[in-house]
C-alpha cells in the first residue's frame, strides 16, 4: 500500500491508472477506522481494480463549536487496517493543501442540505459536498462508496453527482452495528460507560418503529411518538431530531406508504449520535 499525502501526486497516480484502463474505486473517510469503514473498503475492493481510501478530517464540514480539534485520530492503526483490507493508496492530504490561502470555492446542494442534520449543523453539507467534489477531482474514481449511516450525506452526494454531471457512480452500503445494535461510529469513543449503555436506545427505538409498521401502525404520529418516548425515557439523552422522510427527497411524510426513512440525531452526554433505518410497508 502506498501512502500519498500530496494532492498533485494523487491526481498523477489516478491519471496513470486511468491510462492503463484501471477501474478506480474510492472510499472517502475521516479515519479512526472501525468495521463500518472496513466494510465499505471490502465492498469497494470487489467492484474496482484499484482502491483508494482518503483519510481527511475536513475542517469545512465542522461548525465553530464542534469537535474538529478532538476528533479521534490514529494514523498508525488506520494504515495497518487499510493495508490488511488491500487498499492500494491511502490518501492523507493536509488541510493546508486542500484549502490553501485564498481558497474561496464551495458547492451547495440546496434543499436536501437544509433539513435533518443540516438544520442543526448549518454549513455542514456545504463542507461535505465541497470536499467530496475536490476528492473526486483528485482521485478520479469510477465508483465511490458511502455508508447509509450518514444517509442524508449519501442523498446529497448523489444529487451533486447528478446535478454536476460528474462521471462517478455513487454506491451506498448498509450500516454496520455493534452487537447491541449501536451503529459504529468514530465518535462512539467519546462515550463513557454509562452513556454507551444509554446509546443503545437509538437502535432500540428504530427497531420499535419497524415493529409498529409490521403491526400496521404506519402514521407519522404513531411512529415518532414511540421513538421519542423510548429515547426520552433513557438517561443522558436529548433528542436533536426524529424525522420520517421520503427516502429520495428527504421531505417529511405523513405515513409509511411504500417506504420511508426514519432518521434521528440524539445527544448522549456531549456526543451527538445519528442513526436511521428504512421502514417498508408490508
Q: How many CA atoms lie within 13 A of 209 on its CB side?
A: 35
| Backbone φ and ψ of 207, nearest 5° | -65, -40
Does the footprint of ligand AMP cover residue 147 (CB under 6 A)? yes
Comparing CB distances to ligand AMP, the nearer of 10 and 256 is 10
CB of 276 to ligand AMP, least distance (A): 11
Q: Would you call 37 a catalytic residue per the annotation?
A: yes
CA pair distance 91, 211, nearest whole angstrom: 42
- Say whether 207 sits in a helix, a strand or coil: helix
| d(C-alpha 215, C-alpha 208), whole Å | 11
Applying CB under 6 A, does 51 fall inside the site for ligand AMP?
A: no
Q: From the CB of 255, what's the least distance to ligand AMP, in Å?
A: 27
Positions 24 through 43 that interact with ligand AMP (CB under 6 A): 29-30, 36-37, 39-40
Q: Report in angstroms how near the CB of residue 61 gets to ligand AMP at its nearest.
A: 9
Minimum distance of ligand AMP from residue 79's CB (angstroms): 15
Q: Record the cell numbers describing residue 91, joined without a space.
A: 490518501
The answer to the question of residue 140 lying near ligand AMP (CB under 6 A) is no
141 counts as binding ligand AMP under rule CB under 6 A:
no
C-alpha pair distances (Å), 48 with each of 35, 36, 116, 138? 20, 19, 33, 17
Out of 107, 112, 156, 176, the residue judged to bind ligand AMP by CB under 6 A: 176
Return the SS3 of 66: coil
**Taking CB under 6 A as the rule, which mask of x and - marks residues 86-115 in contact with ligand AMP?**
------------------------------
Q: Do residues 168 and 54 lie in contact, with contact meaning Cβ atoms separated by under 8 Å?
A: no
Element of type H or E holding 24: strand 24-29
Q: How many CA atoms lie within 13 A of 250 on its CB side?
A: 24
Measured from the CB atom, the residue of 39 and 79 that comes closer to ligand AMP is 39
Shortest Cβ distance from residue 24 to ligand AMP (Å)? 17
Distance CA 63, CA 148 (A): 22
Catalytic residue among 37, 124, 142, 236: 37
Strands 169-173 and 143-147: parallel
**Taking CB under 6 A as the rule, does residue 150 contact ligand AMP?**
yes
User: Can you name the residues that pair with 28 across neighbouring β-strands?
Assistant: 54
Closest CB to ligand AMP among residues 173, 206 = 173
- By C-alpha distance, which of 225, 193, 195, 191 is closest to 208? 225
The reply to whether 149 sits near ligand AMP by the rule CB under 6 A is yes
CB of 112 to ligand AMP, least distance (A): 16
190 Cα distance to chain centroid: 18
For ligand AMP, which residue of 81, 117, 170, 184 counts as binding (CB under 6 A)?
184
The site for ligand AMP, by CB under 6 A, has a size of 17
Which positions touch ligand AMP (CB under 6 A)? Answer: 29-30, 36-37, 39-40, 146-147, 149-150, 173, 175-176, 183-186
Residues noted as catalytic: 37
Amino acid at each position: 500500500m502506498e501512502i500519498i499525502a500530496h494532492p498533485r501526486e494523487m491526481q498523477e497516480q489516478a491519471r496513470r491508472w486511468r491510462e492503463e484502463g484501471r477501474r478506480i474505486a474510492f472510499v472517502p473517510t475521516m479515519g479512526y477506522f472501525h468495521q463500518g469503514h472496513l466494510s465499505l473498503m471490502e465492498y469497494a475492493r470487489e467492484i474496482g481494480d484499484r482502491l483508494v481510501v482518503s483519510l481527511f478530517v475536513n475542517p469545512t464540514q465542522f461548525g465553530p463549536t464542534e469537535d474538529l480539534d478532538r476528533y479521534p485520530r490514529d494514523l498508525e492503526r488506520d494504515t495497518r487496517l487499510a493495508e490488511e483490507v488491500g487498499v492500494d493508496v491511502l490518501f492523507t492530504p493536509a488541510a493546508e493543501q486542500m484549502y490553501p490561502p485564498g481558497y474561496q470555492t464551495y458547492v451547495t446542494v440546496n434543499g436536501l442540505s437544509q433539513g435533518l442534520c443540516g438544520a442543526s449543523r448549518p454549513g455542514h453539507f456545504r463542507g461535505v459536498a465541497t470536499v467530496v467534489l475536490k476528492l473526486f477531482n483528485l482521485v478520479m474514481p469510477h465508483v465511490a462508496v458511502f455508508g447509509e449511516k450518514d444517509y442524508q450525506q449519501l442523498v446529497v452526494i448523489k444529487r451533486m453527482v447528478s446535478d454536476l454531471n460528474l462521471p462517478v457512480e455513487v454506491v451506498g452500503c448498509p450500516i454496520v452495528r455493534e452487537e447491541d445494535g449501536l451503529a459504529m461510529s468514530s465518535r462512539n469513543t467519546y462515550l463513557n460507560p454509562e452513556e454507551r449503555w444509554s446509546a443503545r436506545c437509538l437502535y432500540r427505538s428504530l427497531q420499535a418503529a419497524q415493529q409498529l409498521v409490521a403491526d400496521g401502525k404506519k402514521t407519522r404520529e404513531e411512529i415518532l411518538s414511540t421513538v421519542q418516548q423510548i429515547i426520552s425515557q433513557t438517561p443522558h439523552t436529548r433528542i436533536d431530531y426524529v424525522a420520517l422522510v421520503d427516502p429520495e427527497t428527504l421531505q417529511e411524510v405523513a405515513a409509511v406508504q411504500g417506504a420511508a426513512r426514519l432518521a434521528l440525531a440524539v445527544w448522549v452526554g456531549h456526543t451527538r449520535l445519528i442513526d436511521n433505518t428504512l421502514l417498508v410497508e408490508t
